[in-house]
Amino acid sequence: MASEQSENYLKNIYKLSSGEGKVTTSSLSDKLQISPASVSEMIKKLAEEGTLTHTPYKGVELTEEGKKLALRIIRKHRLWEMFLVEVLHFRWDEIDDEAERFEHIMSDKMEEKIDHALGHPLTDPHGDPIPTKDGELKCPMSHPMSDVRAGSTVRVVRVSDSNSEMLQYVASIGIALNKEIHVKQKMSFDNSMLVKIDNNEVNISSTIASNIFVENV
């Protein structure tokens, strides 16, 4: 069995890869808040274990086995989040940290019991799909628009409803479900994005971008 930290790397590589394809050392370093040097080391170890392939100086890609493991962790994370909200009545904004720690120590038996107690839910409280036990993902997984690379075109599948003022603004600039968005440029200074919606160019702040969930098109 992979170590707790290995699992964490796999999970986050999977998440980044759905927005980026190949995942770089620095994007992982950013996401995990671990120095690039340490990430580089760990990548070497994971490559030896066969959960990912590494092209030095280029990036990493999960193997089939690595993807299975990542989806299994994501399944545990999302089932546990669902459980926290439905059964223990945690608020939405409280659950992520709790699930973060638990996903790695959750036994397979516990996974089953929780899945059963919740009636085999298909999505977590954020609306993200819960992978199956075999590591399959029925509906495509969305990712925050903030993870999308410049040059890509994506389709909106979900807008986080944490803030109604933001929802209204987002609608006013033409963003709606199934709307296609082309990312022209990512500003390095504040991570805002220049995007094209219905032939209009708009600048979107990183805060907003991280609340708009898209799939590749």
Partner DNA sequence: AGTTAAATTTAGGTATACCTAAATTTATTT
Partner DNA sequence: AAATAAATTTAGGTATACCTAAATTTAACT
**What are 188's strand-pairing partners?**
none
3-class secondary structure, 172: helix
> x/- binding map, residues 59-88, to DNA, per CB under 7 A?
x-----------------------------
Instruction: Answer yes or no whether residue 38 interacts with DNA by CB under 7 A.
Output: yes
What is the binding site for a second copy (CB under 8 A)?
Answer: 87-90, 94, 97-98, 101-102, 105, 107, 109-110, 113-114, 117
Nearest CA to 47 out of 19, 21, 66 is that of 66
3-class secondary structure, 194: strand
11-30 binders of DNA (CB under 7 A): 24-27, 29
Instruction: Answer yes or no whether residue 201 interacts with DNA by CB under 7 A.
Output: no
Q: How far is the CB of 20 from a second copy (least distance, A)?
A: 30
3-class secondary structure, 119: coil
- Choose, by CB under 7 A, the member of 21, 48, 50, 56 that binds DNA: 56
Residue 50: name its binding partner from a second copy, DNA, none (Cβ under 5 to 8 Å by kind): none
Task: Please give the sequence-ordered ranges of beta strands (E in DSSP) within the chain, or none if there are none.
Answer: 52-55, 59-62, 143-144, 153-159, 180-186, 193-197, 200-204, 212-216
Instruction: Answer yes or no whether residue 42 interacts with DNA by CB under 7 A.
Output: yes
CB atoms within 10 A of CB 40: 15
Angle at 126 between CA 153 and CA 143, to 5 degrees: 20
Stretch that binds DNA, among 41-49, 131-139, 160-168, 173-181 (CB under 7 A): 41-49
Residue numbers of the site for DNA (CB under 7 A)?
A: 3-6, 24-27, 29, 33-45, 54, 56-59
